[in-house]
Structure 1
Amino acid sequence: MTRVGVVVVEGTSLFELGAPCSVFGTPRPEVHDPWYEFVVCAESGAHVGDGWLQVSGSGTAPLEGLVDLDTVIVPPLQDSSAPSSPALASLLREAHRNGARIASICTGAFTLAEAGLLDGLRATTHWLHAGRLAREFPAVEVVADVLYVDNGQILTSAGKAAGLDLCLHMLRCDLGSEVANAVARRLVAPPHRQGGQAQYIETPVPAADGHGLGTLLDWARANLHQPITVATLAARFHVSPRHLTRLFRATTGLTPLHWLHLERIRQAQRLLEDTDAPLEHIAARVGTGTAATLRRHFTRTIGTTPSAYREAFRTPSAAAG
């Protein structure tokens, strides 16, 4: 079984600690058996969540145990400006040398940066702290407006709920989409939010002619097979293309065309996972035209080819059919 551990030191934030414990630390034999071997690697006596919880040696492993794990998850400190200990940085570097996958949640990215593990890599953190991460660690390419960044061995996420998104993403990579979706349903969480999705909504969406933007988004999702332009969307919403673009940015953090692109890729992912339909058919369903065009956009967005994605994430029912 894959050995997954979460780091707990003095001042660890309780909320972000809960996400990896819920995803990896709760055995789910009805979903997948065997499950992960999960451990809390903690400083004895560490206070968590502004002192609400004190971690004892019972039921935990020493902090040094993280060097033997397959996956190490680093939650943030309650005080985001507090430096991490040199001992923890040294242990994380050793775990990295041993081949561990290392992930941070929220400002846990500062701990990884202090260990030198983010140098030369793309990384994210909570948008409020992204500027400071970039200033203090100029060797890190900080991406301030995404949910999470997956570099393979090193992963970082934005704050709070994005930590759950990252954990579900890792679960999806390990055990496939069917398992990740089942766990997400039990946690009443979205089954898969792509890392490139915007972190937050800047302003509420004003009503237009009594209708919210959600109705338009639902229509677009149901009609991806048709040619859809910004002008098409604007006409349906009874606003100018410029005003529609402002609404999209405020709601999703994306332009209408970028949002349409991601929705086409997401629908292609679902069809690759759940059906054996040929790529030409999927391309027509999602509105990319040819299989070659879908293959190019899919690979650029997801980082792997449609055939490799299908092999990794196809559901058992689709494979059997």
Structure 2
Amino acid sequence: MPRIAIVLSPGFQMMCFAAISAFEVANVAAGEARYDITLLSEDGGLVKNTLGAGLETERFDDPGIFDTVITGGLMMPKPSSDGLIAFLRAAGGACRRVASICTGAFILAEAGLLDGRRATTHWLFARDLKARFPRVRMEEDRIFIIDGPIWTSAGMTAGIDLALGMIENDYGAELARVVAQNLVVYHRRAGGQSQHSTLLKMDAKSDRIQNALVFARQNLRLPLSVEQLSEAAHLSPRQFSRAFRAETGQTPARAVENLRVEAARLMLEQSRHTLDEIAIENGFTDRERMRRAFLRAFGQPPQTIRRAARLGADA
């Protein structure tokens, strides 16, 4: 049974416990203990978070007794103690996995565990990390990244995606799916997914327009005409078009194209499907229409984006 150690520093950000809950729920969903979870700190005892509430921890010593060591992030990155750095360096050589949530990546970088590796963190701090630790191959627009034994995640809720990825890696996709369902995670995101969601950017105000967008995201293979979308929103086509543009600043056609491009890019980077298959799966009809959409969105054709993703993975 994997032993998971969560390393906390004074002023840790509370959202890291959302990720811990995924391992806890995995035990419940499996009907037996699949993970043993321990809270650690340098001195042990009570460690206070950003809100001033304290949690009891054990004093860290030998990292070799743990399968996975995860360091939680701080609201604002700051230099780590020599003891914490030494512990994480030792964990890098003794544990199967070492991971960070959010700005915890700064701590791994201080320990030298990210040197020469691909990594991510909260987009607000990504450029700062890259400037302070130039040997880190920062990818600031990813939910989480696995580079060998090192896992790093973006901010806040991305820690849940990282934990679900570990559960899938350990026990398979079905348990990870059940855990996500129990956590009421609406959509389990893959590590390569962008931190910036097209649905979030459109920021629909009403439930009706949100329902239409969700319908579109789940049915990209369909033509997704205004009539189909307005039916999902329970509005007339004229009412729908007017309300959609007022709430999102886009036409329905442009919004659907943006959703298709986002989904197609993820498939390009993470699957071996052909360009024709990806185009059909995401409603572009043919690869030429997909190519033109990619040029509008990214200034690059799909082949270039796939090639860059593969080169990054190989490196």
- Which among 183, 191, 216 is matched to residue 195 of structure 1? 191
After superposition, the Cα gap between the structure-2 partners of 1:81 and 1:61, relative to the gap in structure 1 and judged at 3 Å, is closer
The residue that corresponds to 1:24 in the other structure is: 23
Distance 1:192 1:265 in 2: 18
Distance 2:92 2:147 in 1: 13
Contact 1:25 1:36 in 2 (8 A): yes
Structure 1 residue 29, shift from structure 2 partner: 4.5
AA partner of residue 63 (structure 2):
L
Counterpart in 2 of 1:73?
70
User: Structure 1 pair 36/288, CA: closer, same or farther in 2 (3 Å)?
Assistant: farther
Residues 126 and 66 from structure 1, CA distance in 2 versus in 1: closer, same or farther, beyond 3 angstroms?
same
Contact 1:4/1:72 (CA < 8 Å) preserved in 2?
yes
Amino acid at match of 1:89: I
| Contiguous gaps of at least 5 residues in structure 1 | 270-280, 290-295, 304-321
Aligned counterparts of 2:308 and 2:34: Cα–Cα separation in 1: 30
Aligned to 1:15: 15
Bigger mean CA deviation after superposition, 184-193 or 23-32: 23-32
Q: Residue by residue, what CA displacement relative to the aligned partner does 1:75-115 show, whole Å, maximum 9, x if unpaired?
A: 0124x232111211111111111143011001000000000
Instruction: Indicate how the Cα distance of structure 1 residues 257 and 284 shifts in structure 2: closer, same or farther if over 3 A, else same.
Output: closer
Q: What amino acid sits opposite 1:62 in the alignment? A: R
- How has the CA–CA distance of structure 1 residues 3 and 301 changed in structure 2, closer, same or farther, with 3 Å as cutoff? farther
**Corresponding residue for residue 121 of structure 1:** 117
CA contact (8 A) 2:4 2:37 kept: yes
Residue matched to 2:264: 261
- Residue matched to 2:150: 154
Q: Distance in 2 between matches of 1:169 and 1:70?
A: 15
Alpha-carbon shift at residue 181 of structure 1 (Å): 1.4
Query: 1:23/1:3 Cα in 2 relative to 1: closer, same or farther (>3 Å)?
Result: same
Contact kept, 8 Å, 1:148 with 1:156, in 2: the verdict is: yes
Give 1:284 deviation, angstroms: 7.8
Distance 1:32 1:122, change over 3 A: farther
2:10 alignment partner AA: E
Q: CA RMSD in A?
A: 4.3
Change (3 A) 1:282 1:51: closer
TM-aligned CA deviation for residue 224 of structure 1: 2.3
Scaled by the length of structure 2, the TM-score of the pair is 0.68
Alignment partners' CA distance in 2, 1:94 and 1:162 = 26
Task: Give per-residue Cα distances to partners, 1:124-164, cap 9 Å, x unaligned.
Answer: 11111111101100111111122111113111111111111
Identity over aligned pairs, percent: 32
